[in-house]
Amino acid sequence: VKLLEPITLGSRSARNRIVFGPHETNLARKRAISDRHLAYYRARAEGGAGMIVVEEASVHGSDWPYERAPFVGDARAGWEQIAQVCHENGTLALAALGHAGGQGSSAYSQAPLWAPSRVPEVASREVPKWMEPEDIEEVIHSFAVAARLAHDCGLDGVEINAGQYSLVRQFLSGLTNQRGDEWGSDKLLFARRILEQARANVLSGVVGLRLSCDELAPWAGLVPDAAAEVAAALSDHVDYITVVRGSIYTTSAYRPDTHVEPGFNIELARLVRAAVPDRVAVIVQGSVVDSGPAEWILSEGIGDAVEMTRAQIADADFGRKVTDGEADRVRPCIRCNQACQVRDARNPIVSCVGNPSSGHEWEDPAIGGTAPIRHDVVVVGGGPAGLECARVAAMRGHRVSLCERGDQLGGTFRVAANGAGRAPLVALVDWLEAECRRNGVEVRLATEVTAAELEQASKDGTRVVLCTGSTRGRPSYEADDDAVVVAALDFLGGESLPEGPVVVWDPIGGPIGVSVAELLASQGREVTLATPDLIAGNELSRTGDLAPANVRLQASGVHLAKRSLLRRVTASDVEVEDRFTGERSTLKAAVVIDAGYRLPDDQLWRETGERLQRAGDAAAPRSVYEAILEGRRAALAVEAV
Amino acid sequence: MSGGRYRYLFSPLRIGPVTISNRIVFSAHLTNYAEDGLPSEQHAAYYAARAEGGTGLIITEEHSVHPTDWPYEKLIHGFHPEVIPGYRRITDAVHRHGVPIFAQINHNGGQASGMYSRLPVWAPSPIADPLFREVPKEVDRREIAEIVAGYAKVASHCKAGGFDGIELQCSHSSIVRGFLSPATNVRTDDYGGSLWNRARILLEIVEAVRETIGRDLALGVRLCGDELVENGTTIDEAVEVAKLVEEQGLTDYINTSIGVATSTLFMIEASMHVPPGYALFIPSAIRKAVELPVVGVGRFKDPLQAERALAEGHCDLVGVVRGQIADADFVAKARAGFTDDIRLCLSCNQECVGRMGLNRWLGCIENPRTGREVDLPPPVTTEPRRVVVIGAGPGGMQAAIVAKMRGHDVVVLEKESQPGGQARLAAVVPNRAEFGDIVRNLHHDCRRLGIEIRFGVAADAETVLAEQPGVVIVATGAVPAAPYWVPAEASEGGPQICDVRDVLAGTASPSGRVVVIDELGFHQATSVAELLADRDCDVEIITPGMVVGQDLGITLDLENWNIRAAAKGIVQSTDLVAMGVEPGKLNLLHHPTGRNVQRDVDWVVLAVPQAPNDTLYFELKERGIEVHRIGDALAPRRAHAAVVDGYRVGGIV
């Protein structure tokens, strides 16, 4: 297997070609590489990663792009510990070094952004200071100092960021570098000077370059052919190049969610591979989350190693499982971006919907091992919460039966995957189901459980966990008797709709309403998405799908009724109210699909005296992250008295 | 000490066991100064500065009573006993100035998410908050008891930490409000239904807390007088709740608020677009019904307004938060009769309220010390120098003030006949007049400190050198920069094109069909659009972004802007990029679909990024003299950036 073959990177050799790339985690304490980082990277090193590139550290005080962005000046202790733990596990460890330039934030530094030219960042619209020559020299020098520190800490080298959020790329690109001086006439000068300094200061260590090879802004930005020339021109100074894409106008293109098929960087990688000498390794990035496609990329010679970051966020043991021939047991990354994408002012900690302890290695109890006492466990409900509960309980040695009243497992999550662009979600519940069966969970489909049965089981010492999911919510609007209102999940579950125009009511702004509207549009329906927000899918910014979703909705002809409150549904139309002015208007609708809040299905809980353990939506309908987290906790809790 | 013209303001008042020396309260507000759930040194320094500034009473930001309550990252976890040393640090620092300090304790209920706690959110009923959008877990009896016990536990921590009283936030963001309100409580048990049932948890909490703190500490209840939401609590019911609280006999005062901190936050911390004293009807109504002292809040900008609210009998105490964020010495200056010296709050919400929603530390657009009280102020210089500041905008004046206070010899050269630069212009539009206070405040400080500002001096390198500067600070601001698609010369029959600054300065007077292009996402486009709509133009705002005036959401101006825009017939269009003009038309690209669209226009007004006015800086730099550049001359940004730059550079020259 090519993926598992060692690879030479300059003076070092990685044991395999699986790379855990640099990414924002919010695990820093203030700006220090922390104990939390250490626990996070330790798990990936132990789990078999060939090379880990630690979260980027800002090289200079003028850069503080997000509150917990690591800073080189606060990195020493963390880098030393990470180098040590990685080496103990046979993993290479590199420091990512960067400066976000005009794409940073002045909120934390209270100082102007530095950039090659006066180009405002798209999201913040902040105009940067265009750097004076002495500023440029200072930043170059700070890369040198940082590279030396990385070396002194025992790291194997540094990766210089010229990727999506980087000052180095801003200098390389006509989009952001409009200077009339030498730094503008030779756009590669800044990068070259930094790489020279990095090489000189990292001594025998590795120098890598993370390069955006397509800024997706062809009118002035780096286009693939030009990027390949840049790669070739800089190749003398580097041991590897990681091929990425994206820039200021395309923040979601770098690591998109399920709406973009994996493999979008394949052609870019081929171009770069052809342009640089064999001595320089090419690492392929871009939604490669499964070992099969990774192996294909290597066997085709598209690149020499594969960055599989999200795959290892989902399953820290990815490398080990593949090495042990258990690739089918890897917990899949479903590219949902719901918990791992943390570039967000609220500083969420990196995690994974399928593996909620990811990022929380420093605080969460381990789920491995065997329970001291073996219990009989009945889990009611086969959605994500029930599946995770059953899986973990069975893994820990309990005798588990999982009762599901429907004829398939996966609950509302499997149904939600029927929304447009969300099919890959199914892999997670398929994996949970397979793991349950492997671990000996007795799965009973089409099984209604009664309160009396549960009471009896409970009396007999059986541990009962209710994962009964959610039910339709309370409408916040009037509906006539002959009005047709269908819950979004019922529609996604196959309920048929009457002919005619559809209004999708989405007070949440998450993926469900948008995916329903898109699905209907693709079926040729006339669709209006009604939202109280000023933006459709208002909450999608965290996953990176906000702008893409709005483009898709408009391109597919979905009518958007923004700032609207649904007031009344009749047989033929709906009445909506402008959220600000109170003005009412009417939209044609033969049917309304309600993508609003749901209620817990807590009937069994109530009938059993409101004391049995609940997990997930049965306690409060939320996302799959909470369902799996609580399912897991419930499995551990059965061992408490 | 008498209060001079403020007879009511400076009369003492007893609140239970505590006597306060004046009626100004620095009431509870978020600061995001907590670190890892604990109160910080900055907290102590921040409150101590207001105590030193003479405020009558401080009520701290909320302390959470339970792990299920963690709505924002930098919340103080009052339920951990580890908070006590931090409490002690705060109370010692405040008591040093003889000012009492109360702790507010709270559970935010359903107005939260599980993002930080990784626990279900707790609320009376499973009704999602419109901001957090997470369905809460309906609390059962055992959990209600746990919440009540949590209040008592935190109250004991507060007592151990040296606080003089406790305030229960039962108002704008609280599980108690959640129970009180028919909009969020649809329970059918003893805690739902009748008002008495909905108030049950409140009375249980009051009882448990009083039991814990005894009679040595004051106890207050903060109530929401009008939630401003459908089916929510309104003033009549709030008055009834206040009466229930008074009848219970365990509470020493009632505080008030308006709105719900998530759905109607824009009315809790109203910006300058909402009239001062807008929430006074609430304490007024409650005060008529109860004997307990009542606190009124709601954009009290100056001591005179506060005095009048007291004199007219609307309330017994007045909450002045933003006023004391802007000027920690608000009360001392009023008491000393130097009301004009108060750095008036603009109610701009840009760096105080605006930063809370962004998870950043609380600051102030015009007070660079706010949020940095823990740091030492810039030191007095040992080598006084001749400091020449070019430009009397906010940045230049701030630099001059700091340099002067440090002992330098300062002169400011300003090319216009008035100070303020763009900030002065920004205040000429409807509803934005208070923004001009930033200019008044800074200019007043300049005058008070005896800083010479020479107006009408368009400085070039020679002028500056003639001043024999030791150091020069260039604060020359920015100049409008037309985007590439604007023709260099007005084309025949083409729409006239100008910058928002031209409209504000009166050098351009658009008429007829006007398109305002918003690439800045703040007040520039929206306020000029309003100005022109008021002048009977047909106005459309176009933005390449997804929302017009996007950052108005941060300052809580978005709701009222949209209401005003609709009333004035201003059309808002998004996702459109300007591509060029031709006779009578503006060409646009709808970027999500790639469609080309056109507008028939007479005028195009640009709210687009500016260019630094940096010629003088580079000339001086080339001549080898020490020169610093601040504000828009460095990088065109918002007023706060100029003030911060000015403070920093004024502090190091």
Residue B401: C-alpha distances to residues B414, B425, B477, B493, B651 (Å): 15, 22, 18, 49, 10
Q: Match 């031709």 to its residue by tokens.
A: B582
A610 touches chain B (CB under 8 A): yes
pLDDT of residue B488: 87
- Rounded-to-5 percentages of helix, strand, coil across chain A: 35, 20, 45
Contacts of A118 in chain B (CB under 8 A): 481, 609, 611-612, 635
Per the DSSP assignment, residues forming a β-bridge with A206 are: A157
Residue A124 has pLDDT above 90, yes or no: no
At A483, the amino acid letter reads: A
Question: Among B130, B133, B563, whose Cβ lies nearest the Cβ of A580?
Answer: B563
Contact B609 A554 (CB under 8 A): no
* pLDDT band with cut points at 50, 70 and 90 for residue A641: low
Contacts of B127 in chain A (CB under 8 A): 474, 597
Identity at A273, one-letter amino acid code: R
Q: Where are the alpha helices (DSSP H) in B312-381?
A: 322-326, 330-335, 353-356
- Does A532 sit within 8 Å of B636, measured CB to CB? no
Scanning A483-542 for CB atoms below 8 A from B yields 507-510, 532, 534-535, 539
Nearest C-alpha in B relative to A131: B634
Which residues from B are below 8 Å from A128, CB to CB? 635
| CA B43/CA B243 separation, integer angstroms | 34
CA distance A631 to B45: 44
Provide, as residue numbers in chain A, all residues whose Cβ is less than 8 Å from the Cβ of B558.
Answer: 534
CA-to-CA dists, residue B543 to A39, A154, B117, B525, B604, angstroms: 45, 50, 38, 10, 13
Which tens digits make up the pLDDT trace of A67-91? 999 999 999 999 999 999 999 999 9
ipTM for the assembly: 0.96
CA B648 – CA B653 distance, rounded (Å): 9
pLDDT digits (tens, 9 = 90+) for A418-474: 999 999 999 999 999 999 999 999 999 999 999 999 999 999 999 999 999 999 999
Cα–Cα distances in Å, from A537 out to A414, A505, A512, A596, B11? Answer: 21, 11, 9, 12, 54
Within 10 angstroms of residue B645's Cβ, the number of other Cβ atoms is 30
- Please check whether residue B33 is in contact with residue B40, taking contact to mean a CB–CB distance below 8 angstroms: yes
Q: Looking at the complex, does the CB of residue A46 fall below 8 Å from at least one CB of chain B? A: no
Encode pLDDT of B386-441 as tens digits: 999 999 999 999 999 999 999 999 999 999 999 999 999 999 997 899 999 999 99
| Residue B591 CB-density burial (10 A; 0-12 exposed, 13-18 middle, 19+ buried) | middle
Residues on chain B touching A532 (C-beta within 8 angstroms): 130
Q: Which chain B residue has the Cα nearest residue A119?
A: B609
Chain A residues inside the 8 Å CB shell of B359: 67, 345-347
Q: What pLDDT score does B598 carry?
A: 97
Q: Which chain B positions have a beta carbon within 8 Å of A112's beta carbon?
A: 634-635, 637, 641, 645
Locus of tokens 């549904």: A569
Place of tokens 């890959």: A424
| Among candidates B72, B481, B562 on the partner chain, residue whose Cβ is nearest the Cβ of A580 | B562
- Nearest residue of A to residue B481, measured between CA atoms: A118
Number of helices followed by number of strands (H, E) in chain A: 20, 28
Predicted confidence at residue A405, as pLDDT, reads: 96
Contact A118 B612 (CB under 8 A): yes
CB B20 within 8 A of CB B54: no
pLDDT of A594 > 90? The answer is yes
- Which DSSP state fits B608? -
Nearest CA in chain A to B629: A129
Give the tokens for residue A605: 């809980």
Pairing relationship of beta strands B295-296 and B165-170 according to DSSP bridges: unpaired
What is this structure's pTM?
0.97
Nearest to B588 by CA among B494, B521, B524, B515: B515
CB-nearest partner of A347 from B73, B126, B128: B73
A chain contacts of residue B637, beta-carbon cutoff 8 Å: 106, 112, 126-127
Neighbour tally for B370: CB within 10 Å? 22
Judge whether A547 is closer than 8 Å to chain B, CB to CB: yes
- A600 inside 8 A of chain B by CB: yes
pLDDT for residue B68? 98
Q: Is B594 exposed, middle or buried (0-12, 13-18, 19+ CB in 10 A)?
A: exposed
Q: Determine the residue of chain B that is closest to A630 in CA distance.
A: B119
Q: What is the pLDDT of residues B113-129, one digit of tens each?
A: 999 999 999 999 999 99
Q: Quick check: A416 and A422 in contact, CB under 8 A?
A: yes
Residues of chain A in contact with residue B137, where contact means CB-CB under 8 angstroms, are 600, 619-620
Q: Which residues pair with A564 in a beta bridge?
A: A578
Neighbours of B508 (CB within 10 A): 16
CA gap A604, A616 in Å, rounded: 14
Q: What distance in Å separates the CA atoms of residue A578 and residue A564, rounded to the nearest whole number?
A: 5
**DSSP H helical ranges for B290-365:** 303-311, 322-326, 330-335, 353-356
> Where are the alpha helices (H) located in A89-188, listed in sequence order?
133-152, 167-172, 182-185
Tell me the chain A residues in contact with residue B641 when contact means C-beta distances shorter than 8 Å: 106, 112
Coil, helix or strand at residue B260: coil
CA B492 to the chain's CA centroid: 47
CB contact under 8 A, A107 and B360: yes
Find, in chain B, the residue whose alpha carbon is nearest to that of A547. B546
- Find tokens 């229960």 and name the residue: B168
Which of B135, B519, B592 minimises the CB distance to A620?
A: B135
Closest CA of chain B from A622, distance in Å: 6
Residue B338: partners with Cβ closer than 8 Å, 6 or more residues away: none
Q: pLDDT grade, residue A230 (50/70/90)?
A: very high
3-state helix, strand, coil in chain B (%, to 5): 35, 20, 45
Q: Distance between CA A68 and CA A47 in Å, rounded?
A: 26
Average pLDDT, chain A: 97
For residue B381, the 8-state DSSP code is: P
The DSSP secondary-structure symbol of B634 reads T
d(CA A486, CA A517): 13
Helix (H, G, I), strand (E, B) or coil at A206: strand
Beta bridge mates, A24: none
- Residue at A577: amino acid letter: E
Closest of B552, B551, B576 to residue B564, by C-alpha: B552
Q: Please report, for chain B, how many H helices and E strands are present, in that order.
A: 21, 27
As a whole number of angstroms, the distance between CA A510 and CA B130 comes to 13
> Does A582 lie at the interface with B, CB-CB under 8 angstroms?
no
Tell me if B135 and A113 make a contact (CB, 8 A cut-off): no
User: Per-residue pLDDT tens for A293-308?
Assistant: 999 999 999 999 999 9
**C-beta atoms of B128 and A597 within 8 A:** yes
- Inter-chain residue contact B634 with A112, CB threshold 8 Å: yes
The stretches in chain B having pLDDT less than 50 are: 1-3
Query: Which residues does chain B have within 8 Å of residue A597's beta carbon, measured at their own beta carbons?
Result: 126-128, 133, 135
State the CB neighbour count (10 A cutoff) for residue A459. Answer: 8
Residues 6+ apart with CB under 8 A from A145: A59, A72, A201
Structure tokens at A485: 């209102």
d(CA A315, CA A330): 6
In this complex, the residue of A535, A563, A620 whose CB is nearest that of residue B136 is A620
- Residues from chain B that touch A581, judged by Cβ atoms under 8 A, are 562-563, 566-567
- Please indicate whether, in this complex, the C-beta atoms of A67 and B121 are within 8 angstroms of each other: no
Token pair recorded at residue B412: 């400011």
